[in-house]
Amino acid sequence: MKNILKIIFIAMTVVLSGTVFAQEKPFRIGVKIGYPNIIGGNIEYVAPLFNKRFAPTIEYSSINADQFIDPHKGKFNYFQAGLNYYFLKEGTGLYGNLSYGILNAKLTINDIQSDSGSQSGGSAQASISNNSMNIKVGAKWGKGFYFRPEVGYSFTHIDKTLVVDVSYPDGSKETQNETLPSILTQGLLFNIGFGMSF
């Protein structure tokens, strides 16, 4: 039994080492800046299967909203997992991406004026949650250090308006519809990335 386990272990080691080193520099780690990720990390691995054209990829962002959209406060998270397919060369050049993204944001919106104009300085809590299938086209240039732009489309749009309960300093409350910027609700995806291959 021990000999069988040793043989299985050696065989798995040989297969895995062949998989890892089947392509020169198959691992990529980098940063992407754009929408919906704003700024976050990216990891990609060019698999040796299918002529080294397929590359699983994941992205993650977690930032404080007040760094970008003052005077609002809150937290923003984005996670995406997908697959790149390189059209012309192994792990470089033009590629297509199919992915699934999960966006969550919890915001405190400040300095809201009442619909009647009689109150100001209101605040409200707002939550944005969106799960979507995405399709993108991009290009990766470079070997050790690389650069990659991407554009794409999300098939599940964020709602154009948020219904929020606004509280004012005098204790009064009202419900308002907050309209989100159109760039957030049209399904457009875009980013620029850079990083290292190893």
**pLDDT for the residue 117:** 74
Q: Which residue has the tokens 């998270």?
A: 77
C-alpha–C-alpha distance, residues 184 and 55, integer Å:
28
| 171 half-sphere exposure, CB direction, 13 A CA radius | 0
Concatenating the DSSP letter of every residue in 112-161 gives EPPTTSS--SEEEEEEEEEEEEEEEEEEEB-SSEEEEEEEEEESSPPPSE
Output the average pLDDT for the chain. 84
Q: Would you say the pTM of this structure is higher than 0.75?
A: yes
- pLDDT tens digits, 131-175: 999 999 999 999 889 999 999 999 987 888 888 888 888 888 888
Q: Which amino acid is at 67?
A: Q
Pairing of strands 93-112, 122-140: antiparallel
Q: Which domains does the chain have, with CATH numbers?
A: 26-197 (2.40.160)
Show Cβ contacts of residue 54 under 8 Å, excluding neighbours closer than 6 positions.
46, 47, 83, 84, 85, 86
- pLDDT tens digits, 21-36: 445 789 999 999 999 9
- Tell whether the model's pLDDT for residue 9 goes beyond 70: no
Asked whether the beta carbons of 166 and 176 are under 8 A apart, the reply is yes
